[in-house]
Amino acid sequence: MKTVTVDLGDRSYPIYIGRNILSQQNLISQHIHGKQIVIVTNETVAPLYLAKTKAMLNTGDLHTVILPDGEEFKNLTILNQIFDTLLENNCDRQSTLIALGGGVIGDMTGFAAACYQRGVNFIQIPTTLLAQVDSSVGGKTGVNHALGKNMIGAFYQPQCVIADTNTLNTLEDKELSAGIAEIIKYGLLGNEKFFHWLEQNMSQLLARDPDCLAYAIERSCMDKAEIVKKDEKEGGIRALLNLGHTFGHAIEAAMGYGQWLHGEAVATGMVMAASLSEKLHWINAEKYQKIEKLIKQAKLPIHAPDTMTTQQFIELMQRDKKNQGGNIRLVLLKDIGNAVISDDYEATLLLETIEQAISHNARKSSKE
């Protein structure tokens, strides 16, 4: 087992990474301070891991909330099911919420924990690769609104994160690829050496080689933890973690939440960010092609939906949380391993990037 620490002073917490660690009772018990526990999971994960999680917990005051599975259910209406269970069982401020599932469950459980009685403890047990390398780490919680993704939420840190790599064995292939998209992101942001490692080991990741997966998860968590330590509430450099997300969130909103996996949309968004960076002459064509090739190797889309319009993209991107003064701020690339937050680009180049991404005559999609 590996342990990565998110260093936030008195709110620091460990990320445990390893095989079959969901069976280690002492791992979770040290982070539970009260007697009341509510496990929040979904209809897909519950049959797989709910019994094993319950077996780790030595308490008679245990309740479960099983939510429908899918990004389309990440909203305030479904969130109330968690509050209903907490209130119906008279859960107090010493209660602990446990998020057992992917990013949707983690975000919603964390937001419920931040809100209930103005804050109760929660623990993340991510069961998807995307959640293990990204959404479970750093304390971003929230729900979607019809007009924007994750626009309602809070920064709220867990007590710990338990990433059991055995849970990845039950993931669908496209869910695995969606998680790899976020792993590629860390290579592009500030770790060129890791990017090259991914080029050499992508086939092993797709084959679910346990050692490769464990290394990629640990490396991603270390990189994210370092950024969160410096900028917990996204006042500056943490926004770099949104590489590809401004484009990607627009795709998710336009297509309807759940139609594209988050990692699929982010993958296309990273290709679009790289394309705009190339147009700005910040990266050359060779580096753009390396990025596109790696994302295609991960079996991820590199092309936006052709049902979207340029105007629709722009309108949705204008709602992004990074924007300031009405300008669309994007995470772009000065190099592989060197990302910047910028609105210093010509609007015509952004429009050209979007038009190419949605055009059938542009760079062909790996989904087709």
* Active site residue ranges: 118, 140, 182, 224, 234, 238, 242, 245, 249, 262
Location of structure tokens 């087709």: 368
C-alpha Rg value of the chain to the nearest Å: 20
In angstroms, the CA 29 to CA 26 distance is 5
- Residue found under tokens 């797709």: 206
Q: Which residue has the tokens 């509510």?
A: 38
Q: Count the Cβ atoms, other than its own, within 10 Å of residue 117.
A: 13
Nearest to 295 by CA among 191, 182, 211, 129: 182
Q: Helix, strand, or coil here: 198? A: helix
Tokens 């539970």 locate to: 32
Task: Give, in order, the Cα–Cα distances in Å from 316 to each of 129, 229, 307.
Answer: 27, 30, 14
Q: How many residues make up the chain in this entry?
A: 368
Alpha-carbon gap, residue 289 to 287, rounded angstroms: 5
State phi, psi for 331 to the nearest 5 degrees.
-90, 115
The answer to whether 249 and 265 have CB atoms below 8 angstroms apart is yes
Give, for 273, the enclosing helix (H) or strand (E).
Answer: helix 262-279
Q: What is the DSSP secondary-structure string of 300-339?
A: ---S--TT--HHHHHHHHTT-TT-BTTB--EEEEEETTEE
What is the spatial distance between Cα 68 and Cα 59, in angstroms, rounded to a whole number? 26
Judge whether 182 and 134 are in contact, CB under 8 Å: yes
CB atoms within 10 A of CB 7: 13
The answer to whether the beta carbons of residues 296 and 366 sit under 8 Å apart is: yes
